[in-house]
Amino acid sequence: MLQGFILGLSGGAACAVYCAPVLVPYLLGEAGGVRRSGSAVALFLAGRLAGYLLFATAAWAAGAILLGSGKLPLIAGPAYVVLAVLLAIYGAGKPRSRCAAGSSSSIGRRLGGVPWLLPLVLGFLTGLNLCPPFLTALVAAGEAPTLGGSLLFFLMFFVGTSLYVLPAALLGAAGRFPKLQLIGRLAACVMALYYFYAGILRCAAGIEQVIST
Amino acid sequence: MSTNSTAPSRARKIVKAALISLPMLLLSALMLSGGTSGEREMMQIIPVAVTFLFANALFFLMIYTGKTDKYRSLFFIVMAFCFILTFTTNLLERRGSLALTPEDMATGKTPFCHIVIPMTVIPAALTQTIIFPGSILGGFANISSMFVLWIGATLALGRGFCSWGCFFGGLDEFFSRLRKRRIIKDVDPRWTYLPYAVLLGVVLTAAASLTPTYCEWLCPYKAVTEFAAVTSVKTLIQTVIFISLFIALVIVLPLLMKRRAQCGLFCPFGAFQAFLNKVCAFEVKVNGEVCKEKCRLCTQECPSFSLSRESISNGGTRLSCMLCGKCVDICPHKAAGYHVKGTPVAARAGAARMLFIYPAYLFLVTFGGGMISGAIYRVLLLATTGSIFRA
Amino acid sequence: MRRIKSVLGYAWAALALPMVLATFIGMDSWARGFASITGLQVSPWFTGAEVVRTLDHGEYETRIHRPVFDGLISERGRGFVQVVWVPKGDTLPAMIDEDLDIIGDDRADCRISLDTRTNQISLTPLCENVLGVKEKLVFEKDRGLRILVSNPRR
């Protein structure tokens, strides 16, 4: 248990670096101050935890076989593509403070209508991100003797890494400036392109791996 | 009677302009000659002499006519085209190809460009490394020299660098001036925030991936300078992106909008430099008492989308102003002018202009002069030896 | 106060010209100063990092570089090791076959066969950390290889 927490603490800064390209544009794009931003970060982290726990279960069940087979890109690739699509919809939509119904697409409207959903989904999808500390945790969790042990390991790993992500809530202070909000949303579109391409590359790598084995 | 009085006054004006231009003549001679008086071949003297005459003729006209942007722009555009010629021929001579190979990157043979600077800041602070395959010292366009140049330009000119120093900016400036009429008249002001979003995106992804993501994926100027050798699907996609962005942002949109689309709507370095405008002593102010906000000529013509009704009512430009001087030149009421920060708005507009254009133009001439004389040298070489490359 | 601001404004503005002159005239010494004060280096992801072991084979040397796992804050899970073969004379032997310890754990991690004329390389991993060929480097005389490796510390 302690090992998971320490691993989270030691690799958490790297986790924050990997989450920043998704989280920073999102938080800048949202209006509403530090408190609202804090809840968005909490939801994001909750989504990430869900992603972690899903992996913890899979890691325990497969005994980290997935990692060795090189098929992980087949999970991360589509996750990145979905993440890119969500970021693009978010970026292209209108700020929530105006009118959620004004979003340009039906998905956008739904996301705007359920304000807690988007950070949760973004968190979940970045939770499936293959950042180095996560991969380490995955191997360690795979070695846990029971499913409970594996889940607990990931839970503590999550607590350790979250300490580095929490300060992002301060970005909510920037939400008072509408122009920063606009920049955040445009940046979400830019990041969508990046993750879309990264996702396609990972999918291709995963398929190549499957074919070669 | 009137002709008698006009002639002496014109003569006086010419003498006055010549006297004001004299220090530039001396300073540019010093800078273009590189401070050396050693013997040189005619093939090296002619390009420098032509550049010197061209630069000083333009500066004289700038002083004589009182128009800043008109003559700056001419030098700026010539510099950009000469840069392409000098840069590509230099690379072909040194490396044998414009395509960047893994071997060139491993040995630090990639010239460093100022646009990379914003992406290097976070990794440099945390890892003490520069995420660019160049060389720290020595070689062509090394990292330290470009940083020094950027620091000097920023302290002296702020985002003025984008109009008085950037060797790429002249390309979209050229295309933005080709057509007489603009086809796209209004641009949604929200697009003017895209450069900040691109900046945020490339800074974050560069920090996460430790690669200069803008250079790898988004730089339109790769299409006319150097690019990764096309050896895989990835490099093929990159090349297609570079060429598409170049056509769209540097040629088509400037032609349609008559504005610098790449610089005003996309460039992350420009956005970064906009924040640094705060450290420079100069700005453009619009005197609200003189400006009636009726003609809106400046808001329509500003190449960097830096003037709006809102900014004018606040007395000046937006953060993104490149200090090009176009609004100063075209304002029919003389309401726009260069201004020294901290001084009263209407005070000594002429002195403020002189205080700005001297360092700015000297920077342009020194930085761009080498590119122009280099290009002339290549043309002379081609004419005399039949080859653009040195033997 | 207004007067002080005005004087300071003009003083800063007047300094712009000397700043430009100093930038260009002192470029080389400023650049050297910048490099030594900041201590900046080019990222090992591009340079391949520093050489940590050199194996002398008589007519050529095998230079093994430090494994590159450098991340922004902590080490990455995957990286590469650069290996360069340098001839002592003009050319490398036509074929090079070597078992190499590239991670520094005192046992061979991979077997490499390099045809220096066709630049064909065959890599056989001898441990789970060696993942494959990342990049071939063909210099004028030297030949190099970047080997994709997973971080044994992670």
Nearest CA in chain C to A140: C154
pLDDT over 60 (residue A79): yes
Contacts of C72 (CB under 8 A, 6+ apart): A14, A17, B122, B123, B126, B127, B207, B208, B210
Nearest CA in chain A to B206: A21
pLDDT of residue A103: 43
Nearest CA in chain B to A201: B234
Tens of pLDDT along A81-140?
Answer: 887 888 788 777 765 444 333 444 555 556 556 667 778 888 877 766 555 556 666 666
- Cβ–Cβ below 8 Å for B156 and C19: yes
Distance CA(B362)–CA(B165), nearest Å, equals: 10
pLDDT of residue B179: 93
- Cβ–Cβ below 8 Å for B157 and C32: no
User: Among partner residues B190, B198, B207, which is closest to A190 by beta-carbon distance?
Assistant: B198
Radius of gyration from C-alpha coordinates of chain A: 17
Report the percentage of chain A scoring pLDDT > 70: 64
Q: Which residues of B touch A24 (CB under 8 A)?
A: 200, 204
User: Among partner residues A10, A14, A136, which is closest to C71 by beta-carbon distance?
Assistant: A14
User: Among partner residues B193, B204, B208, which is closest to A182 by beta-carbon distance?
Assistant: B193
- Closest CA–CA distance from residue C106 to any residue of chain B (Å): 27
Contacts of B54 (CB under 8 A, 6+ apart): B75, B78, B372
Range with top average pLDDT, A49-58, A75-84, B6-15: B6-15
Is the model more confident about C7 or about A6? Answer: C7
pLDDT of residue C127: 92
User: Among partner residues A13, A17, A136, which is closest to C154 by beta-carbon distance?
Assistant: A136
pLDDT of residue A102: 40
- Cβ–Cβ below 8 Å for A13 and C76: no
Residue A20, chain C, CB below 8 Å: the answer is no
pLDDT over 80 (residue A58): no
Hey, which residues does C137 pair with through a beta bridge? C144
pLDDT of residue B24: 97
| Cα angle A69-A73-A74, degrees, rounded to a multiple of 5 | 90
Tens of pLDDT along B237-276?
Answer: 889 999 999 999 999 999 999 999 999 999 999 999 999 9
- Closest CA–CA distance from residue B192 to any residue of chain C (Å): 29
- 10-residue mean pLDDT profile of chain C (154 residues): values are 90 96 95 96 96 94 96 84 95 94 90 94 93 92 94 79
Low-confidence ranges of chain B (pLDDT < 70): 1-6, 35-40, 293
Whether the Cβ atoms of residue C54 and residue C28 lie closer than 8 Å to each other: no
Distance CA(C131)–CA(A205), nearest Å, equals: 14
A159-to-A117, A132, A155, A164 alpha-carbon distances in Å: 21, 17, 6, 10
- Cβ–Cβ below 8 Å for A14 and C72: yes
- Closest CA–CA distance from residue B37 to any residue of chain C (Å): 15
Distance CA(A25)–CA(A182), nearest Å, equals: 9
pLDDT of residue B304: 95
- Closest CA–CA distance from residue C12 to any residue of chain B (Å): 6
| Average pLDDT for chain A | 72
Whether the Cβ atoms of residue B202 and residue B131 lie closer than 8 Å to each other: no
Which chains does B contact via 3+ CB–CB distances below 8 A? A, C
Q: Which residues of A touch C76 (CB under 8 A)?
A: 132
The label of the residue with tokens 């490149």 reads B322
Distance CA(C102)–CA(C65), nearest Å, equals: 8
Q: Which residues of B touch C70 (CB under 8 A)?
A: 127, 129, 210
B251-to-A86, A121, B72, B244, C61 alpha-carbon distances in Å: 32, 40, 20, 10, 51
pLDDT category, A199, cuts 50, 70, 90?
A: confident
pLDDT of residue A82: 81
Residue C37, chain B, CB below 8 Å: the answer is no
pLDDT of residue C154: 66
pLDDT of residue A100: 36
- Closest CA–CA distance from residue B195 to any residue of chain A (Å): 9
- Closest CA–CA distance from residue B256 to any residue of chain C (Å): 35
Q: Which residues of C touch A135 (CB under 8 A)?
A: 77, 154
| Average pLDDT for chain C | 93
Q: Which residues of C touch B126 (CB under 8 A)?
A: 72-73
* Mean pLDDT computed over A199-206: 82
